[in-house]
């Protein structure tokens, strides 16, 4: 391909109409727009690292201005734009249509046409064996402050020089889409200030492969430890449009850098349909995905790791988080990066306050989907099928749709929430919701069927990964927290967590890590199967429960690997979210009656009169009834620490009654590859039985730290069943006997050089209890998420009082 084609215009310099991608760099935005400049930058600088970008050429901004001059369009378009009511935008659609008609009525200058045809011919000579993508690339596009993503048109599966020329004019016209005009107004760009280049790029056969989007920063919460990959079968427009429920992968950057197992969490999307090549005027068409495709992931682990590596290289090159589009060629099985732009939502957001939302009303939801945002709203449903429904949408409505698209951007500004049938975290609805700062629930499957116009609903995105839609006006509580006012304390504030999908959100709060990660929630919610039922799978009777187990584990020949992988990914997501802060994972502490509720549990659990004081905690781990199940727990921890490189994970042993039992557990851990101190592994013990404290010196020689379980300790110190309503009034963590044990433990542990923390509600509920812990010089306190801010404030007040007291004493 020639480096350039020139045409002498009325000025004294030559105009360049064509730039091959491989001569461009990020400095050429003024010549070829942000998108094309970025493609050239990657081809020139990242190809040597293995990053594959499809080649092509850019039709320059000069060609666009030559087109306007040749057809005398600039002043005519400006005259039309001057009629726009920029306050109400009531005539936006009329103005947009008139501008686009002017563009499409023009003719490309002969020199531009000749240059494009010659460049396309050279692509054919270089081995172009199917179609090209023709993409808009505006001069203000893909900047760190205004991405313009989705504002202008792209045309896929374009074949033949004449069709390429038609697509170029359509790209020019897309500068005056309603959404693009509105976006320029919102971002203070004058209309004729933005020039349009067009990229002509080899198509990747993702129509018979897969494609999607990558964020090098977690898109919902902005966690910089994570790379997020999502995608579906077929052309990537299906993902960008939000027309499918996608597969998702969360990758840990540190593992990518060290060529380790970087996938810390994944989820399988339903992927009901796919966008593929069409024929004739229909360049692309929708086709239903068959059941086999829907039930398998779109990428192998090796392919996910490669995309993660490329994405990190791209982020490092640009020195900023990136929004990337990828595609897999189904004919060659090769992966490509087809676009990359700076991420703008989280990069430009300087959060100084958060608002916590808590649902008060109790009701089953009508719909469940993926949550975008963290708030709760109530409003009136307005079902939108197309822009013809715009007049009925009122300011403050909740827009409900199958999917949304960029043409709706002005309309969506009226909404306080968006609910869609289809889509994932990178869908158009999700991106717009983040930009507008409103919640959205996407991928509900049937919102447009279950909801009706005018219906009052409440939408909650305050529950982590899932968003809920309720009928009517529900009650909730809001609490605004100014993060810059949260003090730093000597005593480390940590979290008590159970749900891995909430970790990315809470990692942004003031904290020093996770002092208690409950394994039970992950087993009961994600795995659902008793570990021994997977160990002894072949021995299970062929009943309804085994059929349920078969359905859950259908992708695994070795059923034990199902447990290991799912548990490792749940723990891994939390550990990656908080890295490098400590995440202390408590090994399973179900009681026998709780284990029995798991699928297959009834075959392995004994009946007990008092499960609270029975076969639980440490006593299970080395016992023949459960030892092989405990081996699966250990394998998951080992995978997280050694394969995912999440060395911030520590483990904690619950309900360890004697030092002899402690030694048995440590030996069992070592036999399963988790030797204390090896590779920095620390093992903590729950201090929740009086024997743990009475023999604290001996326990301190066996473990790296204590975590006081104040609920069980109070129960066993005062001889109270904490679940008994009759004597619940006697349950009191402030009891002198309980506090005496706590104080004694901290003194002995510190004398032996090990740390002590406490997991419980009391320090946040009772300032006096926090003051007591601070006076004992406890190392950390772990709180439930809804209590951590108040807990930090209580600790700070106690530390201030302690310092003032010490200063007063020293002055005497």
Does the pLDDT of residue 735 top 80, yes or no?
Answer: yes
**Set 305, 428, 505, 530: catalytic member:** 428
Report the pLDDT averaged over residues 574-585: 98
Query: Across the strands, what pairs with 249?
Result: 229, 266
Q: How far apart are CA 467 and CA 365, in angstroms?
A: 9
- pLDDT grade, residue 12 (50/70/90)? very low
Residue, of 42 and 360, whose pLDDT is higher: 42
* Listed residue (600, 601, 496) closest to 550, CA to CA: 600
User: Percentage of the chain with pLDDT > 70?
Assistant: 95
pLDDT at 589: 94
Whether 111 contacts 5, CB under 8 Å:
yes
pLDDT (tens digit, 9 = 90+) per residue, 392-411?
A: 999 999 999 998 877 787 78
Which one-letter DSSP state was computed for residue 465?
T
- 487 vs 223, 353, 517, 800, CA distance in Å? 22, 14, 24, 11
- pLDDT grade, residue 809 (50/70/90)? low
Active-site residue flag, 759: yes
Cβ within 8 Å of residue 737, ≥6 positions away: 717, 718
- pLDDT grade, residue 147 (50/70/90)? very low
Q: How far apart are CA 62 and CA 34, in angstroms?
A: 15
Whether 220 contacts 425, CB under 8 Å:
yes
Residue, of 240 and 140, whose pLDDT is higher: 240
pLDDT at 411: 85
Does the pLDDT of residue 220 top 90, yes or no?
Answer: no
Active-site residue flag, 428: yes
**Set 417, 461, 656, 759: catalytic member:** 759
Q: How far apart are CA 372 and CA 388, in angstroms?
A: 26
Residue, of 516 and 805, whose pLDDT is higher: 516
SS3 assignment, position 601: helix
pLDDT at 419: 96
Q: How far apart are CA 590 and CA 521, in angstroms?
A: 10
pLDDT at 310: 98
pLDDT at 729: 75
Report the pLDDT averaged over residues 55-69: 96
With the CA atoms of 578, 582, 588 and 594 taken in that order, what torsion angle do they form, in degrees rounded to the nearest 10? -50
pTM higher than 0.75: yes
Contacts 24+ apart (CB under 8 A), 360-364: 360/474, 360/475, 360/476, 360/477, 361/458, 361/470, 361/474, 361/475, 361/476, 363/470, 363/471, 363/472, 363/474
pLDDT at 142: 46
Does the pLDDT of residue 5 top 50, yes or no?
Answer: no
pLDDT at 72: 96
Q: How far apart are CA 381 and CA 484, in angstroms?
A: 37
Tokens of 62: 């000069």
pLDDT (tens digit, 9 = 90+) per residue, 234-293?
A: 999 889 888 899 999 999 999 999 999 999 999 999 999 999 998 877 889 999 999 999
Q: How far apart are CA 289 and CA 275, in angstroms?
A: 9
pLDDT at 408: 82
Least confident range of 164-178, 483-497, 612-626, 699-713: 483-497
Report the pLDDT averaged over residues 700-712: 95
pLDDT at 140: 67
pLDDT (tens digit, 9 = 90+) per residue, 414-469?
A: 999 999 998 887 778 888 888 788 999 999 999 999 999 999 999 999 877 789 99
Element (H, E) at 219: none
pLDDT at 13: 43
pLDDT at 348: 64
Does the pLDDT of residue 230 top 60, yes or no?
Answer: yes
* Listed residue (88, 103, 202, 216) closest to 156, CA to CA: 202
């Amino acid at each position: 391909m020639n480096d350039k084609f020139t045409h002498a215009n009325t000025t004294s310099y030559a105009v360049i109409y064509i730039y091959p991608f491989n001569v461009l760099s990020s400095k050429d935005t003024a010549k070829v727009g942000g998108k094309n400049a970025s493609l050239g930058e990657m081809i020139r600088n990242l190809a040597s690292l293995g990053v594959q970008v499809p080649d092509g050429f850019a039709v320059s901004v000069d060609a666009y201005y030559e087109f306007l001059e040749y057809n005398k369009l600039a002043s005519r378009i400006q005259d039309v734009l001057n009629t726009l009511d920029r306050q109400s935008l009531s005539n936006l659609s009329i103005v947009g249509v008139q501008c686009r008609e002017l563009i499409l009525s023009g003719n490309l200058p002969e020199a531009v046409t000749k240059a494009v045809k010659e460049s396309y011919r050279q692509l054919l000579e270089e081995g172009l064996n199917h179609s090209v993508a023709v993409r808009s690339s505006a001069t203000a596009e893909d900047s760190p402050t205004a991405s313009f993503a989705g504002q202008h048109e792209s045309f896929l599966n374009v074949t033949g020089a004449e069709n390429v020329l038609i697509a170029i004019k359509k790209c020019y016209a897309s500068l005056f889409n309603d959404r693009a005009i509105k976006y320029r107004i919102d971002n203070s760009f004058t209309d004729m200030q933005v020039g349009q280049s067009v990229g002509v790029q080899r198509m990747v056969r993702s129509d018979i492969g897969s494609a999607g989007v990558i964020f090098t920063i977690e898109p919902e919460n902005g966690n910089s430890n994570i790379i997020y990959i999502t995608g579906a079968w077929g052309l990537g427009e299906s993902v960008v449009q939000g027309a499918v429920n996608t597969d998702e992968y969360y990758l840990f950057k540190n593992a990518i850098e060290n060529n380790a197992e970087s996938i810390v969490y994944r989820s399988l999307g339903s992927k009901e349909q796919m966008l593929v090549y069409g024929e004739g005027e229909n360049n692309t068409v929708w086709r239903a995905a068959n059941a086999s495709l829907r039930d398998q992931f779109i990428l192998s682990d090796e392919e996910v790791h490669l995309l993660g590596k490329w994405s990190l290289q791209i982020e490092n090159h640009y020195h900023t988080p990136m929004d990337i589009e990828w595609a897999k060629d189904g004919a060659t099985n090769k992966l490509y990066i087809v676009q990359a732009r700076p991420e703008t939502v989280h990069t430009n957001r300087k959060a100084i306050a958060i608002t916590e939302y808590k649902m008060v009303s109790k009701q089953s939801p009508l719909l469940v989907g993926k949550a975008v945002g963290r708030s709760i709203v109530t409003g009136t449903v307005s079902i939108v099928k197309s822009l013809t429904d715009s007049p009925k949408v009122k300011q403050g409505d909740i827009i409900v749709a199958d999917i949304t698209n960029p043409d709706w951007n002005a309309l969506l500004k009226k909404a306080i929430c968006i609910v869609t049938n289809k889509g994932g975290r990178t869908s158009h609805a999700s991106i717009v919701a983040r930009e507008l700062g409103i919640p959205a629930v996407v991928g509900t499957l049937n919102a447009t069927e279950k909801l009706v116009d005018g219906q009052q609903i409440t939408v909650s995105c305050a529950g982590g990964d899932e968003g809920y839609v309720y009928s009517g006006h529900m009650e909730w509580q809001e609490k605004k927290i100014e993060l810059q006012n949260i003090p730093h304390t000597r005593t480390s504030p940590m979290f008590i967590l159970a749900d891995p999908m909430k970790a990315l959100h809470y990692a942004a709060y003031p904290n020093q890590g996770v002092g208690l990660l409950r394994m039970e929630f992950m087993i009961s919610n994600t795995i659902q199967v008793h570990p021994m039922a997977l160990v002894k799978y072949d021995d299970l009777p062929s009943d309804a429960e085994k059929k349920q187990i078969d359905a859950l584990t259908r992708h695994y020949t070795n059923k034990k690997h199902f447990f290991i992988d799912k548990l490792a990914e749940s723990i891994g997501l939390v550990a990656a979210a908080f890295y490098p802060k400590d995440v202390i994972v408590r090994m399973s502490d179900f009681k026998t009656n709780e284990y029995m509720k798991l699928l297959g549990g009834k075959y392995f659990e004994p009946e007990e009169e008092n499960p609270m004081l029975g076969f639980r905690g440490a006593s299970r781990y080395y016992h023949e009834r459960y030892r092989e199940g405990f081996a699966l727990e250990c394998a998951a921890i080992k995978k997280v620490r050694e394969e995912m490189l999440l060395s911030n994970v520590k483990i904690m042993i619950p309900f360890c009654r004697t030092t002899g039992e402690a030694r048995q557990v440590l030996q069992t851990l070592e036999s399963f590859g988790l030797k204390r101190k090896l590779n920095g592994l620390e093992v903590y013990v729950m201090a929740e039985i009086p024997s743990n404290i009475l023999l604290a010196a001996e326990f301190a020689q066996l473990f790296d730290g204590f975590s006081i379980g104040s609920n069980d300790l109070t129960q066993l110190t005062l001889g109270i069943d904490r679940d008994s309503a009759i004597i619940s009034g006697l349950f009191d963590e402030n009891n002198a006997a309980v506090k005496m044990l706590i104080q004694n433990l901290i003194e002995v542990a510190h004398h032996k050089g090990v740390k002590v923390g406490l997991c419980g509600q009391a320090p946040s509920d009772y300032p006096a209890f926090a003051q007591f812990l601070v006076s004992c010089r406890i190392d950390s306190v772990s709180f439930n998420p809804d209590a951590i801010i108040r807990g930090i404030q209580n600790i700070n007040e106690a530390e201030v009082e302690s310092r003032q007291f010490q200063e007063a004493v020293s002055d005497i």
